[in-house]
Amino acid sequence: MKSSTLFLLFAFATQLCIAREYISLQGKLIAKETHTPIPYAAITHDKYGTTSKEDGSFTLKLPKESMGELYIQAIGYQDTIISVDRFSNEELLIYLNTVVYSLPTAYVSSKTSRKEHILAGKPEVAVVKDREGKAVPTFVSTGAGFSSGVLINPKKKHQGGILSKISFYAVEEGFPQAPTLIRILVPHTKLQKNRIYPYSEFRDLLKEPLVHKGEVGWNTIDMEHLNLPTPSQNFILLFTPLDYGDQYRWINKRQQNSNRLAECYGMAIGTYRDKKLADIYLALQFSQGRLSYAKIRWGTPAVAVQYVK
């Protein structure tokens, strides 16, 4: 049966301009109710982004003349927009409101009779390699705070199970060991091609951050203990590299002459062959926290999702 996987890249590289002056916008994210720091939040402005550290602090390098809106997204908290006339080096103290979640339907699977199913992708298939024997990357995270991901289309037969495992193939290029935040986003409405959607149109199935440090090759994350029901509509697996300054920054030689995406951050996911996977689509995140889709032609991301019935 033909299944489709939509490839999502929700990012663009930080554009470097010679002789341009920059400021270092610093701040700290605090939970309004508990006054505790908020780690692993994505802070973005236009084509620039970063993530907050364990103590809630962040630093975002911006052109000196930057102004407008700062967008903040954190698991468990309401999306927040900070509007200012002009950004400066002054430290910001930002309070976020928590999100009240409704409890999902509980699914119980028997350990003795359970059966694993592949929802999308297949870890056993061959990963595409070049003449030098290196795995070919299908997308990279071009900036800390921005994200890459895969949009998966489950079928009716997938309903009634719980998500069990997420697998992805990290290539040798870049930093597979870079800490990466993983999210599972479900749209409130049916997504259509070539449309633009704001963050408010999605909800995150995870109630707390899921951070993974990978290695070259297949990485598998066991999620069965989270008891997450398989979504009945398209959902997005989102990979966001956490900002550690210049520690995980690298040059992507493959894309040096393509779209000027030379400087990258974090890990890159490989491409694999599976004729059962169909259309692939690219989405770009522009300003104002919105997603848009556009068709692309390169390979299928090496990502697999399994569920248990």
Residue 208 has a pLDDT of: 84
What's residue 286's pLDDT? 45
Residues 281, 193 contacting (CB under 8 angstroms): yes
Cβ atoms < 10 Å from Cβ of 67: 12
Q: Under DSSP, is residue 225 helix (H, G, I), strand (E, B) or coil?
A: helix
d(CA 84, CA 81): 10
Cβ atoms of residues 187 and 231 within 8 Å: no
> What's the sign of the alpha-carbon dihedral 285, 291, 296, 302?
positive
**pLDDT for position 114:** 64
Q: Which residues contact 108 (CB under 8 A, 6 or more apart)?
A: none
Domain 5-13+103-308 is of which CATH architecture? Sandwich (2.60)
User: For the chain (length 309 residues), average pLDDT per consecutive 10?
Assistant: 41 42 89 94 84 92 83 87 78 88 50 68 85 86 78 80 91 92 87 72 86 93 90 85 89 63 82 63 53 62 87
> In the prediction, which pLDDT does 101 show?
59
pTM of the model as a whole: 0.81
Q: Which residues share a beta bridge with 306?
A: 118, 165
CATH of domain 22-96: 2.60.40.1120
Q: Alpha-carbon distance 111 to 12, whole Å?
A: 43
DSSP state of 255: G
Residue 278: count of CB within 10 angstroms of its CB: 13
pLDDT at residue 9 in the model: 42
Chain Cα centroid distance, residue 130: 26
Q: Is 99 helix (H, G, I), strand (E, B) or coil?
A: coil
Express each pLDDT in 131-185 by its tens digit.
888 898 888 877 787 777 788 888 777 777 889 999 999 999 889 999 999 989 8
Give pLDDT, residue 175: 94
Within 10 A of 256 (CB to CB), how many other CB atoms are there?
Answer: 12
For 288-308, the DSSP string reads TTEEEEEE--SPEE-EEEEEE
Structure tokens belonging to residue 75? 């698991």
**How wide is the angle at C-alpha 282 spanned by C-alphas 280 and 285, nearest 5°?**
155
pLDDT (0 to 100) of residue 93:
93
Domain extent listing, the chain = 5-13+103-308, 22-96
pLDDT at 49: 84
pLDDT at residue 96 in the model: 94
